[in-house]
């Protein structure tokens, strides 16, 4: 019976299947033509609209095939036919797999081969990606489509769910500020996303079961709305997320010798620069931050505005860090600040203490921990003896691989980097490195341009912590990453030892870092805040 339903749906929907396949083919072709630097202007222009069209087509086709035998309607032909409901559901899933995933799989593999990746790894990676597309996108869309009988109803339901989600986000941001999403904008956010995807998948299966086996549309719609609310409010606490990430560390105990101590004798030099203060920014900034996907910052703006918060006071604390080997690096995932009075009563706590500047560590100096304290609190307790505790969540990364390439090499490949290309901009102001890789992209890499006689430009470090295992994007199977290296400053303010004219003999040293261990350290010290105020 599955075959008959499938054949009927294909007879009904083949024009749409053809259209979606065409969109998929165009998208893959555009990705291919985009190359490493968007050399093809048409491909650059078409990439975004085609990606949107791909989403619309894939979602539309999935919804339409379900609605051919709509579940909530009362006059559908399938209701009076002797069909096993499981057969109907399987037929819909098979249709989606055959008409969306199989062409996508073939096109993805073809593009990976055209890019130069070997067949075996390309097959494995693309198959994994298609599995994620089914589980994270198509099954949830299929479930939502069972709640409606027409495209208009589906659009309305989608709008309701997006509305519920947006209201939930706003409420969470106003109530809890940056704490409404403890893992956002950190390397462990993938755990939260994974939890959300699993929750969505569980919700989708619940809806499918309710609809196909019980036809409980109202209850299933309530499950969908509840799911949208839970997506906002069910957040993984930072401590749990980082503990889980630590447990996944590839080399447990590697950071055992790393120590943090407060170094009051090494008071840092005055620094006039004070970071932009979120409290001074309004709703416009919050909206811009939201559009940029920075939920924490947007939430902070909104909360500060709602509470009428005054500007913060910046402090600078010297922190001596020891036990980090020379070719390894330390990444600060989070620094939580807590202040107590002498009676051990907690007075203040913040999950985002401020940035830790590690650059002095290389020259044997202590690192500088900047703290942002609300001015009202500072006025009340600045002169009081307090106890300060900084809880650091840290990651130790080691040099995993390094690759030396002539600076003017146009294309090269390396196992740790994938297939890469270098490009010098027409004015010889900067070099771009772009790489495509099967599987996860390295989240921390650096590049240094070396000239003759050992001269070199400052190392460019691109460390954007992302500790997820290989979880590819839904729209393409390969990772795409890179960095920019300035080689000339037109204003003449900065002089680079190796400039564009010397690139013929220069080479590029690319270093890739990999995680050794995620771990925590704490600093606990008596303090008087006014003694550590950074000059403004």
Partner 1 sequence: MIIETQDLSKSYGRVEALKGLSLAVPEGSIFALLGANGAGKTTIIKTLLNIIEPTRGRALLLGVDSRAIGPEVLAQIGYVSESQVLPGRLRVAQFLDYVRACYPRWDRAAEDELRRGLQLPAERRIGALSHGMRLKLALACALPFRPRLLILDEPFSGLDALVRDEVIEGFLRHAGETSILISSHELDEVERLATHVGVVDDGRLLFQGPLAELRERARPLLASAPPGAPRASLRDIFVAMARKARGVRPRAEGPRP
Distance CA 68, CA 9 (A): 7
- The nearer residue to partner 1, 1 or 52, going by C-beta atoms, is 1
CB closer to partner 1, 81 vs 455: 81
Q: Cβ closer to partner 1: 7 or 404?
A: 7
Determine contact, residues 373/313, Cβ cutoff 8 Å: yes
| Smallest separation (angstroms) from partner 1 to the CB of 6 | 10
Of 11 and 453, CB closest to partner 1: 11
Determine contact, residues 324/396, Cβ cutoff 8 Å: yes
Q: For 240, list phi and psi in degrees, rounded to 5.
A: -70, -45
**Sole residue written with tokens 């004015």:** 427
Residue located via tokens 């509470």:
307
Could you tell me the smallest distance in angstroms from the CB atom of residue 84 to partner 1? 6
Shortest Cβ 70–partner 1 spacing (Å): 8
CB of 438 to partner 1, least distance (A): 41
Angle at which helices 217-233 and 189-209 pack, to 10 degrees? 170
d(CA 33, CA 297): 36
Which residue in 469, 467, 517 sits closest to 189, CA to CA? 467
Q: Which is nearer to partner 1, 153 or 502 (CB)?
A: 153
Strands of the sheet with 367-374, listed across from one edge: 259-262, 312-322, 367-374, 356-357
For residue 203, the minimal CB distance to partner 1 (Å) is: 23
Q: In terms of CB distance, is 151 or 198 closer to partner 1?
A: 151
- Is residue 315 within 8 A of residue 378, CB to CB? The reply is no
**CB 60 → partner 1: shortest distance, Å?**
16
- Measured CA angle at 130 (ends 47, 86), to 5 deg: 125
* Distance of closest approach, residue 12 Cβ to partner 1, in angstroms: 5
- Asked whether 147 and 157 are in contact (CB, 8 A), the reply is yes
Give me the residues that bind partner 1 (CB under 8 A), please. 1, 3-5, 7-8, 11-12, 68, 73-77, 79-84
Residue nearer to partner 1 on the CB measure, 211 or 403: 211
């Amino acid at each position: 019976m599955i075959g008959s339903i499938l054949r009927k749906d294909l007879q009904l929907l083949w024009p749409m299947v053809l259209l979606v396949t065409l969109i998929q083919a165009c998208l893959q072709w555009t990705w291919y033509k985009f190359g490493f630097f968007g050399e093809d202007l048409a491909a650059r222009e078409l990439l975004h609209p085609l990606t949107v069209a791909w989403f619309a087509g894939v979602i539309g086709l999935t919804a339409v095939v379900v609605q051919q035998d709509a579940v909530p309607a009362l006059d559908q032909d399938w209701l009076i036919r002797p069909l096993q409901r499981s057969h109907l559901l399987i037929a819909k899933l098979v249709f989606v797999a055959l008409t969306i995933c199989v062409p996508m799989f073939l096109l993805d593999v073809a593009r990976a081969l055209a890019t130069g990746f070997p067949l075996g790894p390309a097959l494995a990676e693309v198959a994994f990606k298609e599995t994620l597309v089914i589980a994270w996108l198509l099954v949830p869309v299929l479930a939502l489509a069972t709640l409606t009988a027409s495209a208009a109803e589906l659009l309305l339901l989608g709008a309701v769910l997006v509305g519920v989600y947006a209201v939930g986000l706003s409420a969470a941001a106003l109530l809890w500020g940056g704490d409404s999403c403890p893992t956002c904008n950190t390397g462990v956010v993938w755990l939260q996303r994974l939890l959300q995807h699993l929750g969505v998948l569980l919700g989708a299966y619940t809806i499918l079961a309710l609809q196909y086996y019980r036809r409980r549309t109202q209850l299933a719609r309530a499950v969908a709305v509840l799911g949208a609310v839970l997506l906002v409010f069910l957040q993984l606490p930072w401590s749990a997320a980082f503990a889980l990430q630590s447990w996944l560390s590839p080399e447990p105990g590697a950071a055992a010798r790393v120590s943090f101590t407060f170094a009051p004798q090494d008071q840092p030099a005055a620094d006039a620069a004070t970071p932009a203060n979120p409290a001074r920014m309004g709703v416009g900034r919050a909206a811009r931050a939201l559009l940029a996907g920075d939920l924490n910052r947007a939430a902070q703006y909104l909360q500060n505005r709602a509470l009428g918060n005054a500007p913060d006071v910046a402090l600078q604390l010297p922190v001596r860090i020891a036990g980090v080997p020379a070719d390894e690096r330390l990444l600060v995932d989070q620094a939580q600040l807590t202040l107590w009075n002498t009676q051990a009563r907690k007075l203040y706590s913040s999950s985002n203490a401020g940035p830790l500047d590690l650059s002095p560590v290389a020259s044997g100096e202590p690192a500088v921990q900047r703290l942002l304290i609300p001015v009202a609190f500072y006025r009340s307790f600045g002169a009081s003896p307090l106890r300060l505790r900084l809880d650091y969540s840290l990651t130790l990364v080691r040099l995993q691989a390094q690759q030396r390439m002539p600076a003017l090499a146009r294309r090269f490949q390396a196992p740790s980097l994938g297939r890469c290309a270098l490009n010098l901009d027409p004015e010889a102001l900067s070099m771009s490195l772009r790489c495509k890789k099967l599987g996860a992209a390295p989240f921390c890499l650096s590049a240094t341009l070396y000239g003759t006689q050992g001269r070199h430009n400052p190392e460019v470090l691109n460390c954007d912590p992302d500790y997820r295992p290989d979880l590819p994007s839904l729209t393409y199977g390969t990772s795409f990453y890179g960095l920019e290296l300035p080689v000339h400053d037109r204003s003449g303010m900065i002089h680079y030892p190796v400039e564009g004219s010397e690139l013929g003999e220069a080479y590029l040293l690319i270093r890739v870092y990999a995680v050794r261990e995620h771990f925590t350290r704490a600093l606990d010290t008596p303090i008087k805040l006014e003694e550590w105020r950074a000059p403004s």
